[in-house]
Amino acid sequence: MDLQDRSYEIVVVGGGAAGTSAALSSARARRSVLVVDAGEPRNAPAGGVHNYLGREGTPPGDLVAAGRVEAERYGAEFATGEVIAAERAPDGDFRLTLDGGTAVTAARLVIATGLVDELPPVPGLAQRWGREVLHCPYCHGWEVRDRHVAVLGTGPMAPHQALLWRQWSPRITLLRHDLGELGSEDRAKLDARGITVVPGPVEGVRVEADRLTGVEVGGHVLACDALVVAPLFTARLGALADLGLRTEPVWRGDTPVGARLPVDASGATAVPGVWAAGNVTDLTGNVISAAAAGANVAAQVNFDLVEADTRADLRRAAGQDPFLVREREVADLVAGERRHGL
C-alpha cells in the first residue's frame, strides 16, 4: 500500500498493546486511523505475556498480531516503519516522515512508543534480558518459583526488591554490587526472611547451553537460575520530541526510576492534538494497562474530533467560507499551543 501523502484523522505511533488497542477503538469509532510501528515491543524477548486476563501466557507477538487483525477488520491501517521526523504543518495537521521516506499527515496523534529499559552495564547481562535477567516478579516470578534468584544491587531499592522476590522463592541472594554496607534495618529484614547477602561487584554472567547459570562475583562464580535487575525506564520519544514534547523525571522516594512523557487525566500531552498511552507515560504499567490506556485515549481523541467537527459545522452553518473555517480551526490550535507555552 502506497501511503505517501495520505491523510488520516488519527495516526498512532507505536503498535504495541497501547497503540493497537487505540487503533481498534478509533476504527470502531469510524475514524480513519493509521498505526506506524517499528516492531520492537518491550517484551519481545519474553516467552509469554502473563497476567493478561483471558490470554495468560500468550507469546507477546501473537497477542499484538491478534489485536491487529481485529483492528484491521474495522478499517484500521498498519505500516511498518519508524517515525523519524515530526512537525506541525502550517495547516495545523501533523506531518510525520517514516524511515523509508514516506510522509503522512494526521489531524490528531497518539503516541504509544513505549519505553527503553536501560540495563546495568554488566558484561553479558543484556543478552539474557527477558529470559533469565528479569525485573518484574509479576511478569516472571511464577516461572522461577523456588529457584535460586540473585538480585543485583544497583540502588537503594535493591533490598526491597529482594524482599519482594522472596514471595516467589525461598532461595534469594542479594548481590551488593554497587551498594555500600546495608543499614541495620535492611539487614535485619533480609536476615529474618532468610536472604543471603553477597558483597563485591558483579563482573559478568555465566551462560551454559544458552541459559544463565550464574554470576561472576569477586573472582568466583555464584550459581543462580535468574538475575533480577532494576533498569532505568526512559520514555521513547525520538523525533516526536520535535513537536515540543518533553519528558519529566520519575522518582520512587529518593531513587530515580526513569523519565515519562507527562499527560493529564485524559491522556493529553502538553501539545494540543497529541495524546499518549502505555509505557511512554506510565513507566510501571503492564500489557493489560497499556491496552486499557490505549482504548481510553482513543475515546478522548474521538471526543476531541467530535467537538472540532461540530465547531466546523457550526461555522459552515453560519455561512462562513470553508477556507475561513479551516483557518479558524488552525487559529484555535495555535492559541492552544500558546496557552501551553509552546
Ligand X SMILES: Cc1cc2nc3c(=O)[nH]c(=O)nc-3n(C[C@H](O)[C@H](O)[C@H](O)COP(=O)(O)OP(=O)(O)OC[C@H]3O[C@@H](n4cnc5c(N)ncnc54)[C@H](O)[C@@H]3O)c2cc1C
Provide the minimum distance between the beta carbon of 12 and ligand X in the complex, in angstroms, as a whole number: 9
Which range in 26-34, 47-55, 102-110, 169-177 contacts ligand X by CB under 6 A? 47-55
Judge contact between 105 and 8, C-beta under 8 A: yes
Q: HSE-up of 164 (CA within 13 Å, CB side)? A: 15
Q: Does 235 bind ligand X (CB under 6 A)?
A: no
98 closest CA partner among 121, 119, 77: 77
Which range in 49-57, 194-202, 204-212, 250-258 contacts ligand X by CB under 6 A? 49-57
Q: Does 113 bind ligand X (CB under 6 A)?
A: yes
162 closest CA partner among 170, 174, 154: 174
Phi, psi of 137 (to 5 degrees): -65, -25
Which one among 8, 10, 12, 19 touches ligand X, defined by CB under 6 A? 19
Q: Produce one character per residue of 20-45: b if its CB has 16 or more CB atoms within 10 Å, e if not.
A: bbbbbbbbbbebbbbbbbbeebbbee
Q: Does 92 bind ligand X (CB under 6 A)?
A: no
Phi, psi of 184 (to 5 degrees): -65, -35
Q: Does 46 bind ligand X (CB under 6 A)?
A: yes
Q: Cell 459545522 identifies what position?
A: 313
Q: Does 39 bind ligand X (CB under 6 A)?
A: yes
Near ligand X in 257-286, by CB under 6 A? 278-279, 285-286
Q: How far apart are the first and last CA of the chain?
A: 35
Provide the minimum distance between the beta carbon of 235 and ligand X in the complex, in angstroms, as a whole number: 10
Which one among 18, 122, 175, 182 touches ligand X, defined by CB under 6 A? 18
Which one among 15, 120, 258, 273 touches ligand X, defined by CB under 6 A? 15
Joined grid coordinates for residue 275: 495524546
Q: Cell 568466583 identifies what position?
A: 220
Write out the residues near ligand X by the rule CB under 6 A: 13-19, 36-43, 45-46, 49-52, 82-83, 112-114, 117, 130, 139, 236, 238, 278-279, 285-288, 290
